[in-house]
Structure 1
Amino acid sequence: MAMTETPMTSELLYLTTALAGGAAASRLKLPVFVGYLGVGVAFGMAGHTPDELLLQAGEAGVLLLLFGVGLHLRPRNLFSLPMMLGGFLHLAISTTVCVVAARYMGFAWGEALLWGLLLSLSSTVLAAKTLDSGGELTAFHGRVAIGILILQDIVAIAILVVVSNTATSLWSLGVVALLLAVRNPLQKWMLAINSDELQLLAAVLLALGVAELFSIVNLNPELGAITAGALIAKLPLSETLADRIWSVKELLLVGFFLSIGMRASPSVEHWELVVAFTILLPFKAWLFFALLVLLGLRARTAFLTGASLTSYSEFMLIAGASANAHGLLSSAGLNVLTLVTVISFAIHLPINRLSHQLYDRFQGMTRHFERDMSHPDEPASSIGAAQYLVLGMGRTGTAAYDFLRRRGEKVTGLDTDPEVLSFQLAAGRRVAYGDAQDRELWRALRLTSVLGAVVALPRADARLRTTELLREYAPKVVISNFAMYQHEAEQLRAAGADNVSSLLAEAGERLAELSLVPARAPDLSAELPAEHCSAVDNFSLNAKQ
C-alpha cells in the first residue's frame, strides 16, 4: 500500500528533528535555539525551503515575542541621552565603516551604502529573546538595548521604503492617532475579561492585529507588535499576560529559527565577504561598549548591552530580498547576507548565555575605560542597618518583605525596574536600585549586619547566579530561595542556598493545611494576611535559628 504524504508530514519531520537538535544543544549547555538553527541549516543543505506554515508560525512567534517586550516598556524610562545618542552614533559610525569596507571590496557606491546600512542593524528578535529568557528586559542594560533597537527599527522602515520604492502611507498617521484614541477603552476591555483563556486569546489578537495594521500602512509589523504591548503595559495584568503567552511564543519561535537556518546556503560565491562581515561582529560590540561608556554608563551596562546587540538583523533578509527584486542587490549578495545573519545568530546565542560570566572575567580590563563620574546606572552603595535583604520586589518579594517587616525586622528590597521601585517607595517600603547579578554591587555593599537574604527573582538562572555571588561575598548570610522543579532546587543547594522552597510541594501542603477542620487547623492569621495567603508568596526564613 502506497504511503501518502500530507502537508503535515513535513511539519512533523521539522518538529521531530528540532526536538532532537534542541535536546543536543541543551546537553551541550547551549540555548536550545542553537539546535533549532543547526537543524534548519541541515534541512537547507538538503534542499528544503521553509513552507508557508513554517513561515507563518515563525512570524507569529516573533510578533508575540515583541508584544511581550512591549508589555515591559515604560517610555519615560526607555528614551534617554545614552540610548538615543549612542544609537545614532553607532548607526553612523558602523555604516561608514561597512561602506568603506564594501567599497574596498569593489562595490559601487549605491550598493555599498545599502550593505553598510543593513550591516549596522542588530536583531530585535534575538536581543529580545535573550533578554527575556534571562529576565533582563527591565534591567538597565535591557532597557538601553531595547531603546536602541526601537531606534534601529525606525531606520529600518526608511530603508525598506527606499529599496522597495514604496512610500509609507499617510494612513500611518491615522493608525497612530487611532491607537492613542482607543488606548483607554482597550485597557478597560482587557480588564473586563474574566477568563484566563479569553485573556490569552485577546492578547494574541491584539498583538497580531496591530502588527497587521502597521503592515497595511507600510510600517514595520514588529514595531506594531511592540506598540500593541505598550498600549496595555501599565495594566496590573500585563505581567500575567506575558507569562501566559510564553509557551505559545516559544513553540512558534521554533518555526522562526528553522526557517532562518533553511535560508542559509553554503554555496556562496563570495566567502571572503562572509568572513569579513563575520569579523565585523566584534567591532559592533566594541563600538557599542565604547560609545555607551563615553556617554556616562558603567562598563558593566555597556558590556552587557553590547553583547545583547552583537548580531545582524533578520531585517537584512527582508530588505535584501526586496532590494534583489528591484535590481539593487545581486542574488549572490543576498545569499551572503543570509549566511552572515545565520552565523551571527549562532555566535550571539551562546555568548549572551554567558555574558555575565564573560564580564566577570574581563571586568578588570573594561573598567579602565569607565569614566570617573556619577553614573545613571549606579547601584546602591548602602543598605543602612538592614538585617534582611529581599532581592526582586515582585509579588513574591513583596510578600516576603511584608512578612519580615511585620515581625519587626529591618529589611531592604533591591530591584532593577524603575516602575517597581517607584511603586514600592510610594507604598512606604525601603527599596533601592540594584542588580542582584552584578558582582560590583556585592563588592561595594557592607553586609556585616545582614542575617538573611531572600532571592525572589523570576528566572531560575538569575536565582542561581545570585545565590553563588551571595555565598561568595556573604558567607555567613542565610540564603533563602525557591524552585519550581527538583533539579533547580538541587542546583541552588549546591550553589550555597540554605533554604529552598519547593513551590509546588509547599502549595500542596498549604492547601492540606487549609482544608483541616477549624478545631485541628493551626492559627495562621497572625502570621499571614489574607492577600498573601498563597503558598507561592510564602517563605520560611530560619536566619535566627
Structure 2
Amino acid sequence: MADVEGVNLNYAVALLGAGVAAVPLFTRLGLGSVLGYLAAGLLVGPFALAVVTDAQTVLHVAEIGVVLFLFIIGLEMRPRRLWTLRRAIFGLGAAQVLTCGALLTLLAVAAGFTPAVAFIGAMGFVLSSTAVIMRMLEERGTLAAESGQRSIAILLFEDLSIVPLLAIVALLASLAFGDAADARPAWLAITIAAGALAVVIAAGRWLLDPLFSILARTGAREVMTAAALLVVLGTALFMQWAGLSMAMGAFLAGVLLSESTFRHQLEADIEPFRGILLGLFFMSVGMSLDLSLVAAQWRFLLAGVILAMIVKAIGIYVVARIFGADRSESIHRTALFAQGGEFAFVLYSAALGAGVFDAETSAVMTAIVILSMALTPLVVIFVDRLPDSASIDTTGVEKAEGLRGRVLVIGFGRFAQIVTQPLLARNVDLSVIENDVEMIQAAGNFGFKVYYGDGTRLDVLHASGAHKTEAILVCVDKPDAADKIVELCKAEFPYAKLYVRAFDRGHSLRLIEAGVEYQIRETFESAVVFSREVMIGLGVDPDTADEEIAEVRRRDDERLELQLAGGITAGRWLFRNNTRTPQPEPFIKPQRPGEIINPEEPAAAPGS
C-alpha cells in the first residue's frame, strides 16, 4: 500500500470524527451546527488536545467552503434580482458599515489604541462573518424572505468594503514607513479591481453557457462537476489577485451562472463539497483560538468582546430602524451581525505585514473576533426565545419528509383552504406544506394534516414528494416565492402539472410564459362575481349582467393575448377618464370611455 503519511490522514479522521460527534449533539441541544463545529475545532486544535497542530493550513483549505457557499447563494440571485437590491446594498449596507465603524473606532481609541490601529481594528470587526450569518439564515429558512435579502445586501457591501480597506492599510503603512516596494497605489488597486470585475462579467455573459453546453454533450458527469469547481475556484482566485475577496468572486460567478440552463445541475454538483468544507471552515476558526492568550488576558478580551458587540449592536439596531425595519427584524439583524468575521483575519494579517499592527495587537484583535463569532449562535438563540420574537418555532409541528400524495399543495392560507375542500370531498390524496407554524397549528385544530416546509427549497420539495406527485398547487401569497417554486418545479419535476395562484396581471403573464398548466389571479373571480351582484342590486337584468361579465372576461383574455404576443411583462399604464398614470406595464388602447386598462387588484394585505 502506498505511503499516505504525507496526506496526514490523522488530521482528516480527527476533524471528521469531531464534527460528526459534536454537530448532532449541539443541534440536539438547540445550540445549532455552527457552534458545534466551533467547539469541535477548539477541542482537536493546537491549543486543546493538539490532534491538529497546523490550524492556519486547515483554515486556508477550509476557506474554499465559504467560496462554494457564496457561489450557491449567487446562483439564487438573478442579475435583475440583484439590481433590485442596489439601494439596500449601497444604502443600508453603507450606512451600517460606516455607522458601526465610527462607533467602534471611538471605542478602540478610548481603550488606548492609536487612531490608525483603532480604525483598522474597528473596521475588521465591522465586517461580519458571511459564513456564520448565511448558514444561520439557511438553517432558519429566511434566506428567501425580504429580511434575509436585506441581510445579503449588507453582507455584499461588507465584502466590497475589503478592497478600499486593504488600500487604506497600504496607505497608512506608506505614510508611516514610506512607500512599500510591493504595495499598489490606491488608484491602481481600484482600477485593477474594476477591470477584473469587467472581465468576469464579460466571461460569464459570453463564455460560460457555451462552455457548459459543449461539456454537457460529452455525457461525462464528472467533467461537469470539475468544470463547475474550476469556474468557482478560478473566478475566486482571479478576484483575489485583483484585490477583491475570494467570496466576492465566487458570488459573482454564481450570479453570472444564475441565468444558465445548467444552474440546478451546478448547484447539485457543488452542494456536497460546500457542506463539508464549510463545516471545516468553522472548525478551523475554533482551532485558531489561542487559549493561552485567552487565559493570560481574559479580562481584557472579555471586556473587549462584550463592549465591541454591544456598541456594534447599537449601531446596527439604530440603522435598521432608520431604514424602516420593524422592531423584530431589527433585533434579529442585530443578533446576527453583532460579531466580527473571517475578513477581519485578512485585514489584520495585512495590517501586521504592513507594520500597522504589532504581533500582540494582531493576536488580541483576532481573539476578540473569534470569540464574538463563537458567541453569535448563543446570542441568536437568546433572541429567538424572547417572548415577542418572530423566529420560527417548529415545536410540535411535523416537518415535510417522505410525503407521497397524488397532489402537493404549497401554502395553506385562505386561498388553499377553499381550493382543497372539493378535492378532499373527492378523496384526492393531498400532501400539504406550509411555512407558517401558527397556520399549521390552526389547521390541525380543524382536522387538517399540514406539514412544515418551505416550498422555495429544492430539498423540501423532494421531501414533500414533488418528484412523484401528479399535480403541484402553488397557493402561496408572495409572487417572488411562487416564481421560485415554479422555476424549481419546471426544472426538476417536468412531469408534474403546475396550478398557480397569481398575484396580479404581471404575475399571470410571467406564469404563462413559464409554461404552467393553469394560473388565476387571486381576486379576479371574486371581483367579477361581486360586480355582477352589484349590477343586479342596482336593477340591471341578471341576463344583461351576465353578458357584461362575459364581456369583461373576453376583453381580459384579449389583453393577456396581446401582451403575451408583444412580450409585455415589465411596465403598465392605467387609463382613468383619459388621465394617464404611470405604472409598471405598457398600455393597451381603451375600448370604452373611462375604462380601466389592465385592471389591477390593490396590493394584498399581509397573509394568504
Calculate the TM-score normalised by the size of structure 2.
0.61
Q: Please report how far the alpha carbon of residue 122 of structure 1 lies from its aligned counterpart in structure 2 after TM superposition.
A: 0.9
**Within 1, Cα distance between the matches of 2:494 and 2:161?**
49
Q: Please say if 1:284 is aligned against 2:312.
A: yes
Identify if the C-alpha distance between structure 1 residues 248 and 531 changes in structure 2 by more than 3 Å, giving closer, same or farther: closer
- Give the distance between the partners of 1:156 and 1:531, measured in 2 at CA: 38
Q: Do residues 120 (structure 1) and 148 (structure 2) align?
A: no
CA contact (8 A) 1:400 1:537 kept: no
Displacement over 6 Å in runs of 4+: 445-448, 452-457, 535-538
Question: Once the 2 structures are TM-superposed, how far is the Cα of residue 451 of structure 1 from its aligned partner?
Answer: 5.3
Give the 3 Å change call, closer, same or farther, for CA 243–482 of structure 1 in structure 2: farther
Deviations 1:447-492 (A, max 9, x none): 98575798877xxxxx6x63454324774373444889xxxxxxx9
Contact 1:94 1:120 in 2 (8 A): yes
Please give the residue correspondences for 1:447-466 in structure 2 after superposition, counting only pairs within 5 Å.
Answer: 466=436
Match of 2:9 in 1: 8
Is 2:432–2:449's contact at 8 Å kept on the other side of the alignment? no
Instruction: Measure, in 2, the Cα distance between the counterparts of 1:77 and 1:305.
Output: 21
- CA gap of 1:448–1:255, structure 2 versus 1, over 3 A, is closer
Distance 1:536 1:267, change over 3 A: farther
Q: CA deviation at 1:532?
A: 5.8
Which residue of 1 is the match for residue 334 of structure 2? Answer: 306
1:204–1:468: structure 2 CA closer, same or farther, 3 Å change rule? farther
- Aligned with 1:153 (options 156, 159, 164): 159
Change (3 A) 1:455 1:88: farther
Residue 18 (1) aligns with residue 43 (2): no
Q: How does 1:152-231 map to 2 (within 5 A)?
A: 152-164=158-170, 166-167=183-184, 168=189, 170-182=191-203, 183-194=205-216, 195=219, 196-231=221-256
Letter in 2 for 1:54: V
Give the match's secondary structure for 1:267.
helix
Q: Is 1:257 aligned with 2:282?
A: yes
1:277-426 paired onto structure 2 within 5 Å? 277-279=304-306, 280-352=308-380, 357-358=384-385, 361-362=388-389, 400=408
Specify which of 478, 486, 494 is matched with residue 448 of structure 2: 478
Give the alignment's Cα RMSD to 1 decimal. 4.2
Partner SS, residue 213 of structure 1: helix
- What letter is aligned with 2:465? L
**Higher Rg of the two aligned structures:** 2
* Alignment pair present for 1:503 and 2:465: yes
The offset of 1:344, in angstroms, is 2.0
- Shift of the 200–482 alpha-carbon distance from structure 1 to 2, 3 Å rule, reads farther
When structure 1 is superposed on structure 2, of 186-195 and 339-348 the one drifting more is 186-195
Partner of 2:544: none
After superposition, what is the alpha-carbon deviation per residue over 1:251-306, rounded to whole angstroms, capped at 9, x for unaligned?
Answer: 11232122211111122354344223322324434432332222223334434433
In 2: Cα distance, 1:530 partner to 1:313 partner: 36
Change (3 A) 1:188 1:482: farther
Name stretches of at least 5 consecutive residues in structure 1 with no aligned partner: 365-391, 402-412, 415-435, 437-441, 458-462, 485-491, 493-499, 511-528, 539-545
Contact 2:440 2:451 (8 Å CA) reproduced: no
Alpha carbons of structure 1 residues 350 and 246: separation in structure 2 relative to 1, 3 Å: farther
Secondary structure of 1:45's partner?
coil
State the secondary structure of the residue aligned to 2:436: helix
Deviation at 1:224, TM superposition (A): 0.5
Cα distance in 1 for partners of 2:137, 2:54 equals: 27
Task: Output the CA distance in 1 between the equivalents of 2:378 and 2:260.
Answer: 34
Letter in 2 for 1:265: D
- Which 10-residue stretch deviates more, 233-242 or 201-210? 233-242
* Paired residues of 2:124 and 2:344 also in contact (CA < 8 A): yes
Aligned counterpart in structure 2 of residue 136 of structure 1, from 134, 137, 142 = 142
Once the two structures are superposed, the pairs formed by residues 425-440 of structure 1 within 5 Å of their partners are: none
Cα shift readout 1:163-186 (whole Å, capped 9, x = no counterpart): 256332744333222223221331
Query: How much does 1:64 deviate?
Result: 0.3
* 1:16 alignment partner AA: G
Pairwise CA distance, 1:52: 6.9
Amino acid in the other structure paired with 1:293 = R
Q: Residue 184 of structure 1 aligns to which amino acid in structure 2?
A: W
* SS of residue matched to 2:255: helix
Indicate if the aligned counterparts of 1:163 and 1:328 stay in contact, CA closer than 8 A: yes
Q: In structure 1, what residue type is equivalent to 2:324?
A: G
For residues 33 and 536 of structure 1, the distance between their equivalents in structure 2, rounded to whole angstroms, comes to 39
Q: Cα gap change, 1:455/1:317 in structure 2, threshold over 3 Å: closer, same or farther?
A: farther
Check whether the contact 2:470–2:495 (CA below 8 A) recurs between aligned residues. Answer: no
In the alignment, what sits opposite 2:98?
A: 92
Superimposed CA distance per residue, residues 496-542 of structure 1 (whole angstroms, 9 cap, x where no aligned partner): xxxx98639x95999xxxxxxxxxxxxxxxxxx9996758999xxxx
What one-letter code is carried by the residue in structure 2 that aligns with 1:44? P
Cα deviation, residue 205, structure 1: 1.3
Which amino acid in structure 2 is aligned with residue 470 of structure 1? I
Residues 1:352 and 1:207: Cα distance change in structure 2 (over 3 Å): farther
- TM-score, structure 1 as length reference: 0.67
In the alignment, the residues of structure 2 paired with residue 362 and residue 286 of structure 1 have an alpha-carbon distance, to the nearest angstrom, of 18
Report the number of matched residues.
427
**CA distance 1:469–1:198, change in 2 (3 Å):** farther
CA distance in 1, matches of 2:212, 2:35: 36
Partner residue in 2 for 1:66: 70
Amino acid at match of 1:190: F
Q: Which residue of 2 aligns with 1:37?
A: 38
Q: Which amino acid is the alignment partner of residue 466 of structure 1?
A: D
Taking the aligned partners of 1:536 and 1:11, their CA distance within structure 2 comes to 46
